[in-house]
Every structure is written in structure tokens, then in C-alpha cells.
Amino acid sequence: MTKSALITGASRGLGATLSAFLAGRGWDLIIDARGKDALDAAAAALRNYGGRVHAIPGDVTAAEHRAALVAAAREVGRLDLLVNNASVLGPSPLPSLDAVPMIVLRTVLEANTLAPLALVQEALPLLEAAGGLVVNVTSDAARGGYAGWGAYGASKAALELLSATLASELHGCGVGVVTVDPGDLRTQMLQAAFPGEDISDRPLPEATIPFWAWLLSRDPMAVTGARLEAQSDRWEVAA
């Protein structure tokens, strides 16, 4: 039985890497990104693996876009995995929290916290039917209190709390929910966080592939509620 995944922010970085990993394993994919050209290029590469790829450009903060993503999953026929990977960093260079305009904070929270929850709500019937897994991508900024990272960190801290709550509430539905901290990776977003700095010492997103192989070999109900670090030497779920 062919599995399917919906991955947001899939035109580059971690989302593109995970999409290619799943495509190579024969999964059908629904992917999105805000930039149509980059998304189309990513989709063309993914189709070389032979599976179905629905590439839908748009912004996850828009209700009509989320509905279109779930409609594509419904057309595929099932949804085994939802990865809320799309995020916004906020202004670069990163401002101190006392200087962040409220409109910026609202934008970051809307994209990084509210949109993932709304997409889970929209996709829940399909996830429940498949006994699926929700992966909400987080960051150590959710727990670090790092200078300049207040808006982004707050959005991810809230996402972690929402994820833990959903894991409890959806346990009876057979839907698992985890948060995954991929660690520092050599991506466009990390470069934007450190403008002008050399980030070549950070690993590429491909460094997380062993983690994804481990996670997706587990029963969603065996990992639900966990916060996992993709670059750890080993992965465990607390009893």
C-alpha cells in the first residue's frame, strides 16, 4: 500500500530533503512553498522517483491554501504523515524582543503556530483514517531564550505546547503527534539569522536522514507526545 505525506515548506532545505527521502521510498507527496518556481523545480525532481507529486504553491496562513492541500491529499486517497515544516524567521538581522513590532510578532505566530494547528484540524479525518503521524518542526530557540530569537522562539515554544496537547487529545483517535528539532542546519533560514556570517560548519539537511528513517519505522502511537532531536546520537521515547 503506497503511503502519502503532506510536507509544507518543501522547495528547499529540510523540507526538500525529507521529500526526496520519502519519494525515494515510494511515497506519494503533497508539497507546498510560497515560491512557485522553486516549488515546481523541486516537484519535477521528485517525480523522477516515480510517485505522485502534487505541488501547490501558496501560504499556509491562508485558509483556502490549507484546504487545497488537504483536498490534494484526499485525491491521493490517504494521508499517513503531515509535516508542518514551513516557518518564517522574522526580520533579519534579528531584533531584540523589546523592539519587535507587534505586526511582526503576529506574522511569526500566525505562520509558525496557528497555521500548523489549523492544518492539523483540516487534515484530521484523513490522518485518523490512516492512523497517521503529525510532525511539527521546532527549534532549540523554543527553550533557549537566545537574544534576538524571541519572536521565533515564542512561536516554536507555543507550537510545542500545542503538539503535546494534541498528542494527549488525539491518542484515542490513533493519530500520533511529535515535535522534531532538526538542529542547526546549513539552510537559507539559518543564514538569514546570521547575515554575513560563515555557516559552512553546520551540516546539510541530509544529516537528518537517519533520524527520519528511524522515526518513520515506528508506530505513531509508540512515539506520540515526544520531542525529538534529529541530530542526537540516538533517539529514545520516554516511557
CB atoms closer than 10 angstroms to residue 144: 12
Q: Pick 140 or 197 by higher pLDDT.
A: 140
Domain segments of the chain as ranges: 1-87
Counting Cα atoms < 13 Å in the Cβ hemisphere of 159 gives 39
- 75-104 pLDDT, tens per residue? 999 999 999 999 999 999 999 999 999 999
pLDDT at 236: 82
Measure the CA–CA gap between 40 and 34, rounded to whole angstroms. 11
Is 152 in the active site? yes
Locate 86 and state its grid cell: 514551513
Q: How far apart are CA 222 and CA 210, in angstroms?
A: 18
- Residue 239: what pLDDT? 60
- Residue of 27, 149, 152, 212 marked catalytic: 152
Q: Which of 181, 188, 189, 190 has its CA nearest to residue 208?
A: 181
Q: How confident is the model at residue 186 (pLDDT cuts 50, 70, 90)?
A: confident
Closest to 6 (Cα-Cα) out of 126, 183, 88: 126
Is the pLDDT confidence value at 188 over 90?
no
How far apart (Å, rounded) are the C-alpha atoms in residues 196 and 32?
28
pLDDT at 191: 85
**pLDDT confidence of residue 187:** 85
Which fold would CATH assign to domain 1-87? Rossmann fold (3.40.50)
Q: What is the pLDDT of residues 135-157, one digit of tens each?
A: 999 999 999 999 999 999 999 99
| Summary mean pLDDT of the chain | 95
Give the confidence band of 2 by pLDDT, cuts at 50, 70, 90: very high
Q: Which residue's C-alpha cell is 555557516?
A: 199
For the entire predicted model, the pTM comes to 0.96
Query: Any alpha helices (H) in 49-100, and if so which ranges?
Result: 63-76
